[in-house]
Amino acid sequence: MSHRSKEFAEVLEETKSLFRDVMSVPDNFEIMFMHGGGTGQFAAIPLNLKHTFADYIVTGAWSGKAAQEAEKFIHVKRASIKSDAAYLYYCANETVHGIEFHEPPHSIHGVPLVADISSNFLSRPFDFRHHGVVFGGTQKNLGAAGITIAMVRKDLIGKQLPITPAVFSYKEMQDNNSLYNTPAVYGIYITNLVLKWIRDQGGVEAIYETNLKANMIYNIIDSSNGFYHCAIDKRYRSNMNVCFRIGGESGDDAKEAEFLKGAAERHMISLKGHRINGTDVFSRSVGGIRASLYNAVTLSDTEVLATWMNEFLAKYS
């Protein structure tokens, strides 16, 4: 099917309309379906919002990578909030470290916020106030990999650097209705179906209530007398990615390997967390285990994990 066909044009417009309704995207934001994943936006944002410098709140692996990429195009100030910055960047949910902003940071000088919501896209209601750019890949909560949805405040479009590649230019994407080149047409169709599913579940508010299923896992961790350990401040624990160690704060590799083996026998895979070692606060190993509880993970799925955690705890109690 041609991406220029009448049939796909209808799918594209319906998807955009569904997205605006389900996520409550304000009318002064353009919705664009782009390439390159969230990582591509790490470059696209400083290229499109040209300025002397930008502020970055670095809370983990992904915001750190975003800052590193931006440094190729703009001067980056980490954990700085200045009145003359181009924007204030934050990652709404750090998948590696299990850290989530449950409310956006405060833009004290009215500087536009830029939010990476790739891993908690439509997992809860989102407040667009004070934001200039909100973006995310669809692969976690909105369908298949290959699409990035960028929501850009219209008054910020058209400020791109001359070197900005056309496929990353917000102006080109706006002018061509996301059809500057061939988009991921099948991926957009899948996102269309997922948006209808979210709508039919009762909308993002209902999805958020279901996503509080993460508390089922956190409650087991907190009541285990240190057998399970989560290093993240309770105020910033992620509902999407629950990271923890087994056998105490430093973890016990043998126990974690045994836990993962038992989990696999119970048809639970991909629970092994990222083990990042280093000297800075964000490079320590925060989770030998990582349970990713995205929108598609049901309450009953989560109960399977909770049951296994309780059984494993009882074995060593």
| Active-site amino acid positions | 62, 116, 140
Residue (of 122, 129, 85, 125) closest to 106 by Cα position:
129
- C-alpha to C-alpha distance for 312 and 306, rounded to whole angstroms: 10
Contacts for 303-310: CB closer than 8 Å, 24+ residues apart:
303/216, 304/266, 304/267, 304/268, 305/217, 305/263, 305/268, 305/271, 306/216, 306/217, 306/220, 308/259, 308/262, 308/263, 308/266, 308/268, 309/217, 309/220, 309/228, 310/220
What angle do the packed helices 37-48 and 61-70 form, to 10 degrees?
A: 40
- Tokens, residue 148: 């990035």
- Tokens, residue 111: 């500087």
Asked whether 118 and 201 are in contact (CB, 8 A), the reply is: no
Task: Work out the number of other CB atoms within 10 angstroms of the CB of residue 106.
Answer: 10
- C-alpha to C-alpha distance for 152 and 154, rounded to whole angstroms: 6
